[in-house]
A and B are shown apart, each in its own frame.
Chain A
Amino acid sequence: MAECLLKAVDIYKSFVGVQALKNVSFEIHPGEIHCLAGENGSGKSTLIKIISGVYSPDSGYMEFGGKNYEKITPIDAIQSGIQVIYQDFSIFPNLTVMENLAFNSELADRRKFVNWKRMRQIATEAIAKINFEVDLDALVGSLTVAEKQMIAISRALMFNTKLIIMDEPTTSLTKREVGNLFNIILKLKERGIAILFVSHKLNEVFEISEQFTILRSGELVATGNTSDLDSNKFSYYMTGREFQKKTFIPQHVSEEPIFQAKGIGMQGAFQDVSFDLRKGEIIGITGLLDSGRTELALSMFGIRPIDVGTFLVNGKEVKLSNPQVAMGNKIGYVPEDRLSEGLFLTQSIADNIVISEIDSLANKIGVLDHMSRSAEIERWVKELAIGTPNPDNACQTLSGGNQQRVVLAKWLALNLDILILNGPTVGVDIGSKHDIHEILQKLAEKGLALLIISDDLPEVLENCSRILVMKSGRIVADLDAAQTDEKTILSYMM
């Protein structure tokens, strides 16, 4: 291979006592698609910031284009051809595409006055580089996520760019948009531009990258050819844990269904849907985005009431007209992302456990009863074996797995019978995903009835005992998870 474009050698960095990066060395070559992976908090963003000059390393050095830098300033970085595309794309949603494209270079040229003609010219040239078509006078805020990303890429290419760092670029893109992005990345590669692609998604790493580097807790655990990597190794490098696939087999399923839907329907969303849910089991509902699965979930929590049909809880008919009624019937609903983002990381573990049941811990006059609060906290820490010396420590001091246990405690403390989860692991990294799955299965073992809405088929297959497939607002298949596979489910979905 040709000489290195970027070489980072023995990079160390710590923040007030926390070692963020330890002895990290890796290389990027021109025109290479390099994937930087790692769980949250593994030091990925610190590394990016060191490469782009936002932070300077405590020790170690970098070589860029044959030049040695002990530390690189942001301006050096840009001049050496490094561009970072952050997750928020660094755009101005309130301004036009033209201004978004032209500002950086105008500011780099230290211009004091605005020449709208020149700005238009700059912008036109910028989007032409990736054959991106967009109305230059449109407000960026009115564009789709993918279009915003194209703007960020076009802008990055305006300078004599040799390396583009993309921070989790596929978050909130649709599958098709991801495909487009990958096409563009390949075109950039052809032009000799290297891409450092930050991701924690297994399939993306395999699909796009040639080289990979994986960080864990600030240390480089592996770097090399992607072709030498397989999914088991990847998971191991990311988390330091070996996962064996554990398919959920419900242990104690109640005889009587706790929740029943009978011929329910909602105008324009779904119709004629019936199913039973028993304590101790996990049902999966899957289908394409417009199959009505989300509306079905919302109707069960009373957010969008049904037009026809009936719901029965414990055999009794209930009108789930609003979330209060649903909660009164011990139904809980967890929207997307909530499992991973549902913790106040800087608050204490104890507070995180009791936050959701805070009302029930108050005494008659509405003042928090500290005795019952401590009792409750102690109970959960013990019951779920949350590994902490002191529940008053901040949540962020816990390891990922223990954090998930706190989340679990939060939900159990609510004393629910039925828990509906919409996309429980969307955008979650491998380790956390595994933890969440474990939690869900434990919840079921503890006697909850769970309903998972997800289009992540492996997830549904692993965790659910039954899978309902929805298509155009109807349940088209009711499958036994043990008897089916991804291919079958897909054939029903499409």
Chain B
Amino acid sequence: MKTTITNTLRKLSRRNEPYIFLVLMLLCVLIEIRSGQFFSSNNLVDIASALVVPGLFAIGAFMVIISGGIDVSFPALASLSVYATTKFLLDMNYQGGVWLAILIALALGAILGAFNGLFIGYFRLPALIVTLGSSSVFKGVMQGALNSKQLTIIPIGMKDFGTSSLFIARNPVSGLTSRMPVAIIAFLVVLFLVYFMMRYTMFGRGIYGIGGSETSAHRAGFGVRNTKFIMYVMVGMIASLAGVMRVCMMQQAHPTNMLGMEMNIIAGVVLGGTAITGGRGTLLGCMLGTLLIVIVENSLILIGVPTSWKSVFTGLLIIIGTGVSAYQVSHMNRVRSAKTPAKEVVA
């Protein structure tokens, strides 16, 4: 019994999640000590609400990184599809619910994702180059063809969805209230679906397999091209959904203010223990890493750090976080090389 416990502990210590969780808890406690506000109900709701959009983006980025690729185009992709959707609905003076916006954005996201998937999956071009390029193309279409500007008025369905809440948390001391946005359901549903897919479908395991070794995946019988293509389509759809949530929650469609989010999102995913080289990482870790970034970004005033130090803080966090995982990897390698030759095998 004892050995199983130590075994479990040893296995846990080799994973990233416990460390990230520890850092996360320490940070939360620090914020609580400095502000007395962190664990208040309304602040927790605020954090959850701030997690929706980065969380959705992170799920997509996670899938791509696991497959051994990288996607820097998702903010541009999301901006383009949600902007086009919003503008289209405004032009047709749409008065119905948010579902149509979501459907159109998902369809657009699938098309734009297919664009990435085509080049990366079928033409085997490097993902970084393709997504850097497609990111420019998406921005260009938005600025050029759609002549984008900030839309301060959004369709009523989207507006209502953005302000509707599951419940409202009220801080009994300060009397401040925070809405738990309905959008969080979208996030949770996607999170669950992707979790299930990555763990319990051969498609999901194929993504892991491709990230580990594309040649082996091909030889084992995974449809490498199709898997990649479909995955980028899915990522495009998830990113677009994130875009719709963002616009609804912000009550306005700004064409560019999601751009630049990719760095912190990818950082969060890597921070959560996903190997940037692909193949290794869990969705749980990915979410913890993203949560860490979101909390740091949204709590510096609570801690009392001047906002101009924000980027220094996130930067440090990323260096420390990735440093820890890099250290672990090299440590594991050392253990491996020190290991005695293979066990005797008697056939």
Contact = CB atoms under 8 A, between A and B. Distances in A.
A and B touch in the complex (CB under 8 A): yes
Interface of A: 86, 88, 90-95, 99, 103-104, 106-108, 111-114, 130-134, 137, 142, 144-147, 150, 174, 176-177, 180, 183-184, 186-188
B216 interface: yes
22 contacts: A88-B215, A90-B216, A92-B212, A94-B278, A95-B208, A95-B212, A103-B209, A103-B222, A104-B221, A114-B202, A130-B345, A131-B347, A133-B343, A133-B345, A144-B339, A144-B341, A146-B342, A174-B341, A177-B341, A180-B345, A184-B345, A188-B347
Nearest to B219: A90
Contacts of A94: 208, 211-212, 275, 278-280
B336 interface: yes
A146 B336 CA distance: 13
Nearest to B203: A112
A134 B343 CA distance: 9
B342 A180 contact: yes
A180 B344 CA distance: 7
Contacts, number: 101
Given A94-B211, A103-B220, A183 B345 contact: yes
B123 interface: no
B224 to A, nearest CB: 12
B219 A86 contact: yes
B347 A95 contact: no
Contacts of B221: 103-104, 107-108
Contacts of B343: 133-134, 147
A-B pairs with the 4 shortest C-beta distances?
A: A94-B279, A146-B342, A92-B212, A94-B212
A95 B212 CA distance: 7
Given A91-B213, A99-B209, A150-B345, 19 more contacts: A88-B213, A92-B217, A93-B212, A94-B212, A94-B278, A95-B279, A99-B205, A103-B221, A106-B202, A112-B201, A113-B200, A114-B204, A130-B347, A133-B345, A137-B11, A144-B339, A177-B341, A180-B342, A187-B347
Contacts of A137: 11
A142 B336 contact: yes
B92 interface: no
B332 interface: yes
B220 A107 contact: yes
B215 to A, nearest CB: 7
B346 interface: yes
A142 B219 CA distance: 21
Nearest to B198: A114
Contacts of B216: 88, 90-92
A104 B217 CA distance: 9
B34 to A, nearest CB: 40
A131 B344 CA distance: 10
